[in-house]
Amino acid sequence: MNGTYFIELFLGGLTRGSIYALIALGYTMVYGIIQLINFAHGEIYMIGAFTALIVSSVLSFTGMSPVLIFIIAAIAAVVWAAGYGMTMEKIAYKPLRNAPRLSALISAIGMSLFLQNYVLLAQTSDFQPFPDLIPDLAFLKPIETIMNTTQFIILVTTAVVMVVFTLLIRYTKMGKAMRATAQDMVMAQLVGININKVIMFTFLLGSATAAIGGVLISSHIGQINYYIGFLAGIKAFVAAVLGGIGSIPGAVLGGFVLGLTESFGTGYISSDYEDVFAFAILIIILIFRPSGLLGKTTRKKV
Amino acid sequence: MTPVLDVKKLRMDFGGLRAVNDVDLHINEKEIIALIGPNGAGKTTFFNCITGVNKPTAGDVIICPPGATHTKRINGLKPNVITEKGLARTFQNIRLFQNMTVLENVMIGRHTRMHAGIAGAILRNKKTREEEQKVIDDSYEILKKLNLEQFVNELAKNLPYGAQRRLEIARAMATDPFLLLLDEPAAGMNPQETHELVDTINKIRDNENITILLIEHDMGLVMTLSERIYVVDYGKLIASGAPDDIKKDPEVIKAYLGEDTNA
């Protein structure tokens, strides 16, 4: 067994895992608060990537430095995707707040199909090249074969997002309101929390992190089309379930477990079975730990 | 004097079931009022209607906070809006935020009285920091009043039962209410704890100027604590008045003991 190859796969797995984790956060938060699997979440990630592509294409005519373009494009993507997320909640989920859960789920699938086809119409089904805007960092030169700059940026950004996220949930007023709403929605209202605001903020936050994931992975892979959100969304959903849906640390852990499994699986066994590994591990976890790695086993009171 | 809470002909239908049937009730400032009745009489539904958990089918819920110049009709408003207007409640089963600390539970209630928004939370300017510190200080004061300061950083779920009950009251008080609605505050308490609860409720009324409406099955507590009692049965108000009159009321005896008391 080759040591460098192992490290390469490991870092590759972490990179994938970061992206899955970023998307899975949105799934798990929304589920934690309104018990809805937001199947349109992958589409938000795709829209984030497209927004960055459009903004950076426009800005490339201005002759700005690539780094600046990348940063502006990323911010635009985050803002725009957050807007999409909030609008989606308002028109597709809010009217169904008191409806049976299945109705909201169907609405989510409808939203997903709508967004995919809307982007298909606007952007065609061809893969669009995503500009390589991140310049190579000099200090990564010696280990270029193992980890390139984009991977490095992905890992660092994800780490920063996770830390900010944790602080936000743990210490801010909105974070406390989110935790309270997730635990008991009626009681949260009775202590004066406006749950509409909390739910909207949850979608905003989830969409923003998904968009960050979208921008990062697109600059890593270099091309995007209207369909990238589907598989990424499903994989992130797997990550969220793997970690225990509703649990934020669980989503992060699930993302990394999934990314590493895929990376090692494709590296040591066969790359033909890339997606098989993801779903095989989901099935195994669901058999032995139905509530996920960090999920709480709910005991029903009799 | 205008009552702080004036409920007129309140009605709540669930499909064909009339859970609350044209109930009238009023409370004056700094009174302690009990709402009693057999199980399933509609007492909790009545609370739910007042606090916005359920939307009443008909009737009026009118409040006049102490010092306010005019009254306000609040039925149909959202629970969080009603809380902001100064009504707070507890539930008969404990509904704390179990995975949060004792302090956080109270702080959540206190945040209603805070004005900094998301922008403030991100920028963390001086005003926000001061406000947050004030929330913590106020919350701690409230915990002290209910003898909970030794648990301040414990998770709510790890507290002994009696302390959890007190924390529910503390959280409700944190929203700065003028009217506190307690749903079976003594449920599951031993006589010693019930005795302390009577003191606590009296103190809340006397020191904090909070008016109290409570649902309770413990007749000892009801009779010692309340100034007036309302009795409901099958959603209808069957009697109201001073404790001594209620004890002797034949309608009330019938509702509690059944029609045929000779057996």
pLDDT of residue A1: 59
The reply to whether B78 touches chain A by the CB within 8 Å rule is: yes
- Given a contact cutoff of 8 angstroms between Cβ atoms, the answer to whether B138 and B111 are in contact is no
Inform me whether the C-beta atom of residue B211 falls under 8 Å from chain A C-beta atoms: no
pLDDT of residue A150: 87
In tens, the pLDDT along B180-236 reads 999 999 988 888 989 999 999 999 999 999 999 999 988 889 999 999 999 999 999
Residues A17, A159 contacting (CB under 8 angstroms): no
- Return the higher-pLDDT residue of B123 and B156: B156
Which stretch of DSSP H or E encloses residue B107?
helix B102-110
**pLDDT of B150 higher than 90:** yes
Q: Which residues of A touch B173 (CB under 8 A)?
A: none
Chain A contacts of B182, Cβ < 8 Å? none
CB B149 within 8 A of CB B140: yes
Distance CA A35, CA A101 (A): 8
Which of A172, A177, A190 is facing B83, going by the closest CB pair?
A190
| pLDDT of res. B263 | 46
Interchain contact, B121 vs A174, CB within 8 Å: yes
Write down the domain spans for chain B: 1-86+177-263, 98-168
- Secondary structure class of B39 (helix, strand, coil): coil
β-strands B228-233, B32-36 pairing: parallel
pLDDT value for A209: 94
**What is the per-residue pLDDT across B33-81, written as a single tens digit (0 to 9) for each?**
999 998 889 999 999 999 999 999 999 999 999 888 888 899 889 999 9
Does this model's pTM top 0.95? My answer is no
Q: Which residues contact B206 (CB under 8 A, 6 or more apart)?
A: none
Amino acid at B10: L
Residue B122, pLDDT > 80, answer no
In chain B, residues with a C-beta closer than 8 Å to the C-beta of A188 are 108
Q: Could A177 and B107 be called an inter-chain contact, meaning their C-beta atoms sit closer than 8 Å? A: no
Identity at A52, one-letter amino acid code: A
A301 falls within a domain: no
| B2-26 as b/e: b if 16+ CB within 10 A | ebbbbbeebbbeeeeebbbbebebb
* pLDDT tens track for B90-109: 998 889 999 999 999 999 98
Cβ within 8 Å of residue A146, ≥6 positions away: A4, A7, A8, A11
**Structure tokens given for B22:** 């044209």
| Mean pLDDT computed over B134-154 | 92
How far is C-alpha B96 from the geometric centre of its chain's CA atoms?
14
Does B171 contact chain A (CB < 8 Å)? yes
In a domain, A283, yes or no: no
Of A191, A194, A195, Cβ closest to residue B108: A191
CA–CA distance, B110 with B125 (Å, rounded to integer): 20
Q: What is the DSSP letter of A296?
A: P
Which chain A residues are within 8 Å of B116, Cβ to Cβ?
173
- CA-nearest residue to A172 within chain B is B121
- B100 has a chain A CB within 8 A of its CB: yes
Residue of B nearest to A183 (CA): B97
Amino acid letter, A220: H
Residues ≥6 apart with Cβ < 8 Å to B19:
B12, B13, B42, B45, B235
Let me know if residue A119 belongs to a domain.
Answer: yes
Q: How many structural domains is chain A composed of?
A: 1
Kind plus residue range of the DSSP H or E element containing B20: strand B17-27
Closest CA in chain A for residue B112:
A192
Q: How many whole angstroms separate alpha carbon B65 and alpha carbon A198?
A: 28
- Contact flag A174-B53 (C-beta cutoff 8 Å): no
Residue A99 maps to a domain: yes
Give a yes or no: residue A7 inside a domain. no
Q: Is B261 a residue whose pLDDT tops 80?
A: no
CB contact under 8 A, B95 and A187: yes
Q: Search chain A and give the residue with CA nearest B169.
A: A191
Q: Which residue of A has its CA nearest to B118?
A: A174
Question: Residue A93: which of A34, A17, A18, A140 has the closest Cα?
Answer: A34
Please report, as a single letter, which amino acid is at residue B162. G
Contact A190 B80 (CB under 8 A): yes
- pLDDT for res B62: 93
Q: What is the DSSP letter of A265?
A: I
Which CATH class, in words, describes the domain spanning B1-86+177-263? alpha beta
Cβ–Cβ of A192/B111 closer than 8 Å?
yes
- Which member of A173, A186, A190 has the closest CB to residue B114? A173
The bridge status of strand B179-183 relative to strand B211-215 is parallel
Which residues in chain A are contacts of B111 at CB distance < 8 A? Answer: 173, 176-177, 192-193
Which contacts qualify for A175-179: CB closer than 8 Å, 24 or more apart? A176/B100, A176/B104, A176/B107, A176/B108, A176/B111, A177/B108, A177/B111, A178/A29, A178/A33, A178/A202, A179/B97, A179/B99, A179/B100
- pLDDT for residue B262 is more than 70: no
Beta bridge partners, B17, equal: B14
Q: pLDDT tier at B117 (50, 70, 90 boundaries)?
A: low
Residues of A contacting chain B (CB within 8 angstroms)? 172-174, 176-177, 179-180, 183-184, 186-195, 201
Distance in angstroms (rounded) separating the CA atoms of residues A49 and A45: 6
Residue A58 belongs to a domain = yes
On the 0-12 / 13-18 / 19+ scale of CB atoms within 10 A, B87 is: buried
Quick check: B182 and B27 in contact, CB under 8 A? Answer: no
Average pLDDT, rounded, for chain B: 89
SS3 A144: coil
> Which of B80, B121, B132 minimises the CB distance to A189?
B80
**Other residues' Cβ atoms within 10 Å of the Cβ of residue A130:** 21
Q: What is the pLDDT along chain A (302 residues), one digit of tens a residue?
A: 578 889 889 999 999 999 999 999 999 999 999 989 999 999 999 999 999 999 999 998 988 888 899 999 999 999 999 999 999 999 999 999 888 989 999 999 999 999 999 999 998 888 999 888 888 787 877 777 778 888 899 999 999 999 998 898 888 888 999 999 999 999 999 998 999 999 999 999 999 999 999 999 998 888 999 999 998 999 999 999 999 888 888 999 999 999 999 999 998 988 888 889 888 988 998 898 888 888 776 555 55
Residue A186 with chain B: CB contacts under 8 Å? 53, 79, 95
What number of C-beta contacts closer than 8 Å exist between A and B?
Answer: 71
